[in-house]
Amino acid sequence: MDSDLLSHILQDLGLPENYGEKRRLHFCEEAKVLVKIGLNPYGKTIYLEPDTAKAWEKMKEAALKENIELLPLSGFRSIRTQAEIIRMKLESGRSLDDIMTANAPPGYSQHHTGRALDICTPGFIVPEKDFAQTPAFQWLTIHAQKFGFIMSYPVNNPEGFIYEPWHWYFVPSDRIV
Ligand SMILES: [Zn+2]
């Protein structure tokens, strides 16, 4: 996306155009190639970039062998969709500062890359911190890294986001099994 358009999208939400740099967030390019990985529990089709999709399939299968069912909740999200989500929250009356602790500004969400995946499990299909109490999360903390997934936003993360135990980011490495 060109930087003028991104500046316009940020300003339209009431964010300064240098908001990302000021908060030391990393700009995230939108994925160019995406594949479907299936539906989330709400019936929405989820997309990831191809290498992430492969790693997710392997991880999901490995978990299932140990009776842990991992489900996708959210995958690729465009810069424009990110702006729409923030816009809807503003319209529902939440303050921009509050929203910015839970949502990255447009252009700075790992979901733009197609390499980020919000994960849930049957019986817990919302992105809330109590996901950390589920056996699915316990399994992920032990095994996800072997498949290339890291939890981006632990407690007190330097980016200033809330604790997001459901949010995992695929970092290609030779440790992928
Ligand atoms: Zn996420």
| 152 CA distance to ligand 1 middle (Å) | 9
How many angstroms does the Cα of residue 87 sit away from the middle of ligand 1? 17
Distance 116 CA to ligand 1 centre (A): 6
The predicted structure's pLDDT at residue 3: 84
- pLDDT recorded at residue 177: 47
* Phi-psi map region of 23: left, alpha, beta (phi>0 left; psi -120 to 50 alpha): alpha
Torsion angle in degrees (nearest 10) through CA of 65, 150, 45, 58: -30
Q: Which amino acid type is present at position 120?
A: C
User: Residue 33 gets which letter from DSSP?
Assistant: -
Q: How far is the CA of 7 from the centre of ligand 1 (A)?
A: 23
Tell me the mean pLDDT per 10 residues along the chain, length 177: 89 94 92 97 98 98 98 97 96 95 95 98 96 98 96 94 97 63
**Domain of 20?**
3-170
pLDDT for position 146:
94
Domain membership of residue 177 (yes or no) is: no
Number of domains in the chain: 1
In this prediction, residue 172 carries a pLDDT of 76
Q: Which of 76, 177, 63 lies closest to 122 in space, CA to CA? A: 63
CA 65 to ligand 1 centroid distance, Å: 25
In a domain, 52, yes or no: yes
CATH code of the domain covering residue 81: 3.30.1380.10
pTM for this prediction: 0.93
Could you tell me if residue 176 is inside a domain?
A: no
pLDDT value for 174: 56
Q: Hey, which bits of the chain come out as E strands?
A: 35-39, 45-48, 71-74, 116-120, 149-151, 167-170
Q: 14 C-alpha to center of ligand 1: Å? A: 22
- Total Cβ atoms within 10 A of residue 153: 21
